[in-house]
Amino acid sequence: MLLGLAVVYFLAGKLGLSLAFVNRSVTSVWPPSGISLAAILLLGYRVWPGIFLGAFAVNITTAGSVATCLGIATGNTLEAVLGAWLVSRFASGLDAFRKPRDIFKFAALAGGLSTAVCAAIGVISLAATGYADWTAFGQTWLTWWLGDGIGIILVAPALILWASDRRVQWKPPKAVEGVLLLSLLLLVSSVVFGRWSQGRNYPLEFLCTPVLLWAAFRFGPRDTALMILILSGVAIRGTLAGLGPFVRSSPNTSLLLLQLYTGTVALVALSVAAIVAERRRAELHLRETERRLSRYNADLEHFAYAASHDLQEPLRNITLFTQLMVEQHGKQLGREADTFMNHIVGGVERMNAIIEGLLRYTRLSGSDVTCFEPVSMNDVLSRAQKNLGAAIADSKAQVFYDGLPIVTGDREQLVRLLQNLIGNAIKYRSQAAPLISVAARRNDQDWIFSVSDNGIGIDPKYGERVFGLFERLHGSHTSGVGIGLAISKQIVELHRGRIWVESQPGIGSTFKFTIPAGTEQSFVV
């Protein structure tokens, strides 16, 4: 493996050095830096000898003494090791191309920092052994640094992303799209950097951006990285042949300008690809969570329904047999038996109320009410009052109301809603006879209904809690199981509204809920 890496490094290095202009050992196109960084990230730090060997071989067969080449090879190896360490430590390692933030960190740390160190060691090695001029240090270092840095930005992502996922499982339409994309890239890159541009050299490089963005949006980071490599290959070839927008009088300047261009476009395209891929992953995750949640919900509803249903039967038996026992054996059991039986029957009745409430609650949460109809809230209020007839009469409650509107909703549920709220206003009354007023006003999108009472009120800090299942604030002296407001909340939410309470203890409470004002004739009757 080490030898294989050394050979690949050597060949890529020879290719890069064939484009060396400022010094035989210094080039602005240096793919080995990307290869060596990817090798360490993918295979581990132990492959450094392969890099060292490859770097030494490529230089000793080009120019320089053994000492020069040992110096350069040390710099190249250090670049890969330092780059890999920085990327692993600060830019999520092999996952660096999943988030734009990590991509930029990768470019700055591996492409900018570790290469600066390597370029310095390399140029010092050359100059110290007489193979470069100290006076040209700046320009040589810059060419080396940019060549290595852009080599990393262009080559490493493609290698890492393809090594991490080699599957190509495209359905036919996707494959056709892939072929189209590749053809367009080749066409555009040859228009910009090919023979067509001869003598014109128009600044048409921007034409490449939409093609890379197509890859980023539709194919993801891995394929985008490959497209960038292909574009870079075509562009370097053209620029060297004196074609395209980056051609200047010196080939080194032309190549440097081109490399800067491809490096920048690569960063943008890879970042877009990462954002799109991240969004796609998030969408998938959301869909999966949604599916799991609705399955759990359905299971839970089924469970609650079945359990509540099955509990009713034993409860009926308890009542029945307790009554039978008192009837048939009351005398032997003594006087206390009656009291005990009353406790048992009372408990069973309460249990029944809870179960019925639960059944209603689960039935509601399972329902997806789609057949809403225009409902007159005046009628709804009349029916709720009728259902509460006995409680209203016993408590001498008075219910006032303004003309209420017509809304779109489920009539039965809306009756239950008002019945719950008015029923509570009566149940939680103060010493005075209940005065209850029901009103509605409209804002831009909603009808806001209010049911106010002059009852005992609710401490504002419990304003949210009372809508929870089995939550009771004033339990001991009043009947009830703490389900009414939970059901009311469910009904309002099924109508895409919200419910809340405004209250002052000792003064009274106002329960408010909204119902979207639709296109129904929302006149006040």
Residues that bind ligand ADP (CB under 6 A): 420, 424-425, 427-428, 453, 455-458, 466, 471-475, 480-486, 509
Tell me how far, at minimum, the Cβ of 346 lies from ligand ADP, in Å: 16
CB of 444 to ligand ADP, least distance (A): 28
What distance lies between CA 149 and its chain's CA centroid? 32
CA 378 to chain centre: 45
The residue number whose beta carbon is nearest to ligand ADP equals 480
Rounded Cα distance, 253 and 2, in Å: 35
Amino acid at 413: Q
Cα torsion at 99, 101, 103, 105 (round to 10°)?
A: -150
The residue (of 26 and 501) whose beta carbon lies closer to ligand ADP is 501
How far CA 471 is from CA of 221, 332, 336, 408, in Å, comes to 52, 42, 33, 30
| 41-to-104, 115, 122 alpha-carbon distances in Å | 17, 16, 23
User: Minimal distance in Å, beta carbon 466 to ligand ADP?
Assistant: 4
User: At its nearest, how many Å lie between ligand ADP and the CB of residue 381?
Assistant: 16
The residue (of 372 and 500) whose beta carbon lies closer to ligand ADP is 500
Q: Which residues are CB-neighbours of 31 under 8 A, at least 6 positions away?
A: 12, 15, 16, 151, 154, 155
Least distance (Å) from ligand ADP to the CB of residue 427? Answer: 6
Of 223 and 453, the one with the shorter C-beta distance to ligand ADP is: 453
Q: Of the two residues 230 and 351, which places its CB atom closer to ligand ADP in the complex?
A: 351
Tokens 């001029």, located at residue? 133
Indicate the residue among 347 and 475 with the shorter CB distance to ligand ADP. Answer: 475
Q: How far is the CB of 460 from ligand ADP (least distance, A)?
A: 12
- Distance (Å, whole) CA 224 – CA 270: 7
Q: Which is nearer to ligand ADP, 36 or 509 (CB)?
A: 509
Closest to ligand ADP by CB, 427 or 512: 427
CB of 342 to ligand ADP, least distance (A): 21
The region that residue 285 occupies, defined by phi over 0 for left and psi between -120 and 50 for alpha, beta otherwise, is: alpha
Structure tokens at 404: 């209420």
